[in-house]
């Protein structure tokens, strides 16, 4: 018997495994949460806070609750089945995985055009660089990450650093803007106005389209699957949702402080950058430069997340795709997004609001398929008894998102008229 062979109970091996699991969970958690608070959400928050004032707090709370139900279900189902979203969909309803893949990839492409635009706006605010050039720099930097031999590690590190930069700067902006916290808290639960277009758009921008599956697919790639990991996965999902919820609300407070002070934020101009105007009003020229850093950090994490997750849906058409092939496909995806960004004349801010709404229309389709799989396809669950309470919440949320999509579809496409 070999004496130097590690046994399963070896302390070093156990510690290494625990460290890898923590890293995998953090990777999935931050990829999901940072994708959910990207440049689209920041721009949407500025637009809708100007229009609704403190009542927008209600939309944020609803988006967080929907986020919780969606992510808790999606992460659990992917973890238990050990399958990617399109494979789960095809197993549950033959052919639906291809439809879901097409919708997510197209939605992700539109979203990434907006994300690259967000990088351009970030560079413009930071150093007055032309947005087209700044967007190109952001896209090329993301391409460099996926061309790296250690693309996964590089991606995770960029997301981690950007997350902390974003959090610190948003908290600072909220502090200096002096928002009416009591009024915001009241309208969080008793809003003066409820707007379904706003809620659908903000939900789509934070948990719709590719964002729904970003963290779950990252867990799958990291090997955090199976019933034995379900408790750790649930904790990570809840932590990620908590991070997104705090970031969303603090960002809203920062902009609300500016709006409540009487500062007029321009939404009429095609080149208007409402979030940048809010940061400038809150903290002067320094605040505007800080906004650029926030927007750039948000854009980079979202470019990475959108490309990585959208391309992971190519497995619907090529199940045996290698990691190298997927990285190259991701590079191609970002390059196509960049070319479209350069060609399309729609302003980045308008595109960012529109794509949130578009993904809000895609969300109920994927969620419906997943809830059907959890309800009717016990054979996919490997003997796991799906929690009834979570299933009920998922079905109710699914019905709500369908209703919101129905009420909002026309108005969402009109958002391109901003």
Domain that holds residue 156: 37-413
CA–CA–CA angle 378, 381, 386 (5° rounding): 75
- Within a domain: residue 5? no
Sign of CA dihedral 176, 181, 185, 187: negative
For range 162-173, the mean pLDDT: 78
- Within a domain: residue 248? yes
Banded model confidence at residue 230, pLDDT cuts 50, 70, 90: confident
Residue 14: its pLDDT value, please? Answer: 57
- Within a domain: residue 27? no
Question: Which residues fall within 8 angstroms of residue 8, CB to CB, at 6 or more apart?
Answer: none
Kindly report, residue by residue over 258-283, the tens digit of the pLDDT. 888 777 777 665 556 777 887 787 77
Residue 153 above 80 pLDDT? no
CATH code: domain of residue 178: 1.20.1740.10
Kindly report, residue by residue over 283-298, the tens digit of the pLDDT. 788 878 888 888 888 8
- Within a domain: residue 388? yes
Residue 24: its pLDDT value, please? Answer: 67
Q: Specify the range with the lowest mean pLDDT, choosing from 12-21, 50-59, 235-244, 382-391.
A: 12-21
Residue 415: its pLDDT value, please? Answer: 54
| DSSP element (H, E) containing 282 | helix 274-312
- Within a domain: residue 395? yes
Query: Could you report how far apart the first and last alpha carbons of the chain are, in Å?
Result: 73
Residue 337: its pLDDT value, please? Answer: 92
Supply the mean pLDDT for the chain: 80
- Within a domain: residue 14? no
Residue 324 above 70 pLDDT? yes
Sign of CA dihedral 35, 218, 88, 320: positive
Residue 333 above 80 pLDDT? yes
Q: Specify the range with the lowest mean pLDDT, choosing from 12-16, 39-43, 80-84, 361-365.
A: 12-16
The more confidently predicted of residues 19 and 243 is 243
Kindly report, residue by residue over 382-395, the tens digit of the pLDDT. 888 888 999 999 99
- Within a domain: residue 156? yes
Burial of 183 (0-12, 13-18, 19+ CB in 10 A): middle
Residue 62: its pLDDT value, please? Answer: 85
- Within a domain: residue 255? yes
For range 118-122, the mean pLDDT: 87
Residue 13: its pLDDT value, please? Answer: 63
Q: Check: CB of residue 337 under 8 Å from CB of residue 382.
A: no
Percent of the chain with pLDDT over 70: 82
The more confidently predicted of residues 373 and 45 is 373
Q: Domain tally for the chain?
A: 1
Kindly report, residue by residue over 337-377, the tens digit of the pLDDT. 999 988 887 666 666 666 666 676 778 888 899 999 888 88
Residue 160: its pLDDT value, please? Answer: 75
CA dist., res. 84 & res. 124, Å (int): 38
Banded model confidence at residue 133, pLDDT cuts 50, 70, 90: very high
The more confidently predicted of residues 247 and 101 is 101
């Amino acid at each position: 018997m070999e004496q130097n062979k590690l046994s399963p109970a070896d302390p070093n091996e156990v510690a290494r495994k625990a460290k890898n699991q923590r890293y995998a969970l953090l990777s999935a958690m931050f990829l999901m949460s940072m994708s959910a608070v990207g440049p689209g959400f920041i721009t949407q928050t500025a637009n809708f806070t100007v229009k609704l004032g403190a009542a927008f707090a209600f939309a944020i709370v609803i988006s967080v609750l929907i986020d919780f139900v969606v992510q808790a279900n999606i992460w659990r189902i992917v973890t238990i089945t050990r399958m990617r979203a399109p494979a789960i969909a095809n197993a549950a309803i033959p052919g639906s995985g291809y439809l879901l893949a097409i919708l997510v990839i197209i939605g992700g492409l539109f979203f990434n055009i907006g994300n690259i635009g967000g990088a351009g706006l970030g560079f413009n605010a930071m150093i007055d660089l032309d947005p087209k050039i700044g967007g190109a720099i952001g896209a090329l930097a993301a391409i460099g990450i996926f061309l790296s031999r250690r693309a996964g590690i590089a991606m995770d590190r960029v997301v981690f650093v950007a997350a902390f930069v974003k959090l610190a700067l948003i908290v600072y902006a909220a502090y200096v803007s002096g928002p009416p916290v009591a009024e915001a808290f009241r309208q969080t639960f008793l809003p003066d106005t409820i707007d379904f277009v706003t809620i659908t758009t903000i939900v789509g921008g934070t948990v719709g389209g590719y964002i729904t599956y970003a963290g779950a697919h990252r867990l799958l790639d990291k090997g955090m699957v199976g019933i034995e990991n379900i408790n750790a996965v649930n904790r990570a999902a809840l932590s990620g949702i908590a991070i997104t919820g705090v970031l969303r609300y603090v960002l809203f407070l920062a902009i609300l402080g500016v709006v409540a002070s009487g500062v007029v934020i321009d939404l009429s101009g095609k080149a208007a950058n409402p979030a940048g105007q809010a940061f400038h009003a809150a903290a002067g020229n320094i605040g505007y430069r800080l906004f650029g850093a926030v927007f750039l950090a948000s854009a980079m994490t979202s470019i990475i997340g959108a490309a990585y997750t959208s391309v992971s849906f190519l497995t619907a058409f090529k199940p045996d795709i290698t990691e190298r092939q997927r990285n190259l496909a991701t590079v191609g995806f970002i390059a196509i997004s960049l070319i479209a960004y350069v060609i399309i004349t729609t302003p980045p801010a308008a595109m960012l609001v529109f794509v949130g709404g578009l993904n809000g229309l895609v969300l109920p389709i994927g969620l419906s398929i997943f809830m059907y799989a959890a309800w009717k396809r016990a054979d996919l669950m490997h003997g796991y008894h799906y929690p009834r309470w979570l299933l009920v919440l998922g079905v109710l949320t699914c019905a709500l998102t369908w209703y919101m999509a129905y009420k909002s579809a026309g108005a969402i496409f009109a958002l391109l008229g901003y």
